[in-house]
Amino acid sequence: MIFKNNLVFFFNRFVRKHLLTFMAILLLSIISYSFTFVNPLFFQILIDNIFINKESHLLSSVILGMLIIFSISAVTSYLNSYLMGRMNNSLYREVSQYLFSLILSSSMKNYQSNDTGDLITRVMGNVQLAVGISSSVIPHIFTSIITIVLPFVIMLHFNIYLTLITISPGLLFVVLNLYFGKKIEKNQTKFLMIQAKITSILKELISIFPMIKVFNLNTWANDKFKKVNDEYYSTSMGFTRISSANASFNSFVVAVPTVLFIIFGGDMVLKGTLSVGTFTAFLSYISMFFAPISQFSSFWNLYKSSTPAIDRIKDIIDMEIEKSGSEKLNFKNGTITFEDVDFAYGEKIILKDFNKQFYKGLNYLVGDNGTGKSTIMQLICGILTPDKGKITIDGQNISNIDQRNLFNHISIVFSNPYLFKGSIYENIVVGNLNAEKSDVEEVCNLVELDTFIKNNENGYDYDVGELGQLLSSGERQKVALARALINKNPILLLDEAMKSIDEDTRKIMNNVLKKIQNNKTIIIITHNLSEIEKSSNIIKIS
């Protein structure tokens, strides 16, 4: 099969809606190429009729005809290039947006099984390759096939004997391209994987830049990057060797027909059985016959090197979408119950027959690292799904609840505050995009972030920097807590949110939780036993 199933799927899923543009690109490409086939006929008339037979009255007609054809060819070339670029940009926007939405909709287990760098390269670089196949490579392949036929027919009209002799090396050309195409596709699959790996390593090393500086790990980081960078180089050179060998063989195969024609055609000219004008025109058509064949080779190799990108895109499309119920949560008291819950990451068992209840007010989860505290938080949110048992809120199984509706009742503050580059205001208001300025001010006052805001000249517009690096750890968690409180959800989870903050910020956050405990079910993961309220619900996990 020339076109793989995944490419057919990609075409049907994304390109079909652009079919009119796709067909226009094909038509314009054929028209643009077809005009070039007329030029050798003009040269034949110039040589045989005007220069040799002195039919000068034909000169003005030939010049006018050539100008008209050049003008039409220029217009069709512009339209073809413009439509191809527009289709390429439209497809890239549509496919990358679709893949990103699928990633957001995928299950947490699926997300955790993929490296961030790998997902980035699939959504960005791999989409560019896949789109290029549809908007550029395939139209050029079809155009190359069609434009091979026209010079072949014209050459047959001139001389069948010479035509069969000159095109005979074409069979070797086909065999070579099929052979090299397979090797290129295999190599490209490895290349895309190492490309994703190098992106992941770069992202990881840059994200831990402060640690690298403090622990003097420049050499370690350089060695870590060099290892994967050398692997990237080795894989790239494999592709370079294959493509260079293919180009070399193709150049040789394309040169052979010209030599054969000069040998046999030249002899016919000397014997007077072939005119000089026909010889010149035929020689031009040999170039025209093999030029699209050479282009076909280039685009065929590009097609074979790009198909692994479509396979990687299809992997994202086939990702398991997060399951969601259809019921609405009938919230009453905010009692959360775990009934015989099992959960494991692969073969690693995290929870086994877990039975606990969380009530309105303060609830503390206490236990050693790796005992499943954060997993419990994610299970309550519906981010993870139990392998066995059920979790209920006021007796209602959360697996039956529409996930969006469930999220409208739960807020969470992570140990990593997950701030993005932007203002303090923007980082808080994403907790409730319908919030007013007064709502933001209210939560900032509650978490005592207002002093910091008043003491800097930009106020709420203060840019927190990438990952909030322009804030202290305490300020970052205050922003995260304010974001969680602005939506006024009745369930609040704190996943080790006070693990890496200063004592003053910890006191402020604990005071906030005491103020709101009568109106919310609050679950706190903590290692600091001294801050636990004695009257609260304490759940120890071992």
Cβ atoms of residues 279 and 269 within 8 Å: yes
pLDDT the model gives residue 301:
65
Cβ atoms of residues 143 and 29 within 8 Å: yes
- Between helix 218-271 and helix 160-167 the angle, nearest 10°, is 160
* CATH code of the domain containing 372: 3.40.50.300
Q: What is the pLDDT of residues 471-513, one digit of tens each?
A: 888 899 999 999 999 989 999 999 888 887 888 888 889 899 9
- For residue 98, give the nearest of 307, 305, 306, 314 by alpha carbon: 314
Strands (E), 359-465: 361-367, 388-393, 396-397, 410-413
Classify residue 116 as exposed, middle or buried by CB count within 10 Å of its CB (0-12, 13-18, 19+).
middle
Cβ atoms of residues 353 and 412 within 8 Å: no
Ramachandran bin of 340, using left for φ above 0, alpha for ψ from -120 to 50, beta for the remaining angles: left
Q: What is the pLDDT of residues 294-319, one digit of tens each?
A: 666 666 666 766 777 788 888 888 87
Cβ atoms of residues 391 and 338 within 8 Å: yes
- For residue 293, give the nearest of 173, 158, 139, 472 by alpha carbon: 173
Domain that holds residue 70: 5-317
Cβ atoms of residues 199 and 120 within 8 Å: yes
Co-location of 165 and 219 in the same domain = yes
| Domain finish residue from 272, 287, 317 | 317
pLDDT the model gives residue 297:
62
pLDDT of residue 2 exceeding 50: no
Residue 326 domain flag: no
Per-residue pLDDT averaged across 423-443, rounded? 91
Say what percent of the chain tops pLDDT 90.
17
Co-location of 155 and 10 in the same domain = yes
pLDDT category of residue 104 using cuts at 50, 70 and 90: confident
Element (H, E) at 218: helix 218-271
Co-location of 243 and 109 in the same domain = yes
pLDDT category of residue 42 using cuts at 50, 70 and 90: confident
pLDDT of residue 406 exceeding 50: yes
**One-character DSSP codes across 353-369:** EEEEEE-SEEEEEEE-T
Q: What is the pLDDT of residues 132-145, one digit of tens each?
A: 777 676 676 677 77
Instruction: Give the DSSP letter of residue 423.
Output: B
Residue 527 domain flag: yes
More confident site: 170 or 230: 230
pLDDT the model gives residue 477:
92
- For residue 239, give the nearest of 191, 302, 299, 200 by alpha carbon: 191
Co-location of 305 and 349 in the same domain = no
* CATH code of the domain containing 210: 1.20.1560.10
Residue 172 domain flag: yes
pLDDT of residue 112 exceeding 70: no
Co-location of 346 and 299 in the same domain = no
pLDDT of residue 326 exceeding 80: yes
Residue 448 domain flag: yes
Cβ atoms of residues 134 and 11 within 8 Å: yes
Residue 328 domain flag: no
Residue 330 domain flag: no
Cβ atoms of residues 81 and 54 within 8 Å: no
Q: At residue 516, what are phi and psi to the nearest 5 degrees?
A: -105, 5
Cβ atoms of residues 494 and 524 within 8 Å: yes
Co-location of 298 and 347 in the same domain = no
Co-location of 270 and 308 in the same domain = yes
Find where tokens 């938080």 sit.
377
More confident site: 525 or 198: 525
Per-residue pLDDT averaged across 73-102, rounded? 85
Per-residue pLDDT averaged across 420-429, rounded? 90
Residue 494 domain flag: yes
Contacts of 98 (CB under 8 A, 6+ apart): 14
Per-residue pLDDT averaged across 184-207, rounded? 76
Q: How far apart are CA 40 and CA 48, in angstroms?
A: 12
What six digits make up the tokens of 344?
């494991």
Co-location of 354 and 288 in the same domain = no
pLDDT the model gives residue 409:
92
| Domain finish residue from 317, 347, 373 | 317
Q: How far apart are CA 342 and CA 380, in angstroms?
A: 13
Co-location of 312 and 343 in the same domain = no
Query: How close are the terminal C-alpha atoms of the chain, in Å?
Result: 57
pLDDT of residue 17 exceeding 80: yes
Strands (E), 348-471: 348-358, 361-367, 388-393, 396-397, 410-413
Q: At residue 490, what are phi and psi to the nearest 5 degrees?
A: -80, -10
Element (H, E) at 192: helix 170-207
- For residue 472, give the nearest of 443, 508, 510, 501 by alpha carbon: 501
Facing residues of 341 across strands?
354
| Alpha-carbon distances, residue 364 vs 151, 311, 533 (angstroms) | 81, 46, 9
Facing residues of 337 across strands?
357, 392
What six digits make up the tokens of 192?
């895309």
Element (H, E) at 523: strand 521-525
Angle at 493 between CA 490 and CA 494, to 5 degrees: 140
Residue 393 domain flag: yes
Co-location of 292 and 378 in the same domain = no
pLDDT the model gives residue 125:
78
For strands 388-393 and 336-345, give the pairing. Answer: antiparallel
- Between helix 503-516 and helix 473-485 the angle, nearest 10°, is 10
Strands (E), 278-372: 336-345, 348-358, 361-367
Chain-wide mean pLDDT for the chain? Answer: 81
| Domain finish residue from 259, 283, 317 | 317
Ramachandran bin of 83, using left for φ above 0, alpha for ψ from -120 to 50, beta for the remaining angles: alpha
pLDDT of residue 258 exceeding 60: yes
**One-character DSSP codes across 142-174:** HHHHHHHHHHHHHHHHH-HHHHHHHHTTHHHHH
pLDDT the model gives residue 486:
93
pLDDT the model gives residue 443:
92
pLDDT the model gives residue 120:
79
For strands 348-358 and 336-345, give the pairing. Answer: antiparallel
Domain count, the chain: 2
Q: What is the pLDDT of residues 333-349, one digit of tens each?
A: 999 999 999 998 878 88
- For residue 169, give the nearest of 283, 242, 261 by alpha carbon: 261
Co-location of 298 and 425 in the same domain = no
pLDDT the model gives residue 170:
66
Co-location of 259 and 375 in the same domain = no
pLDDT the model gives residue 1:
42
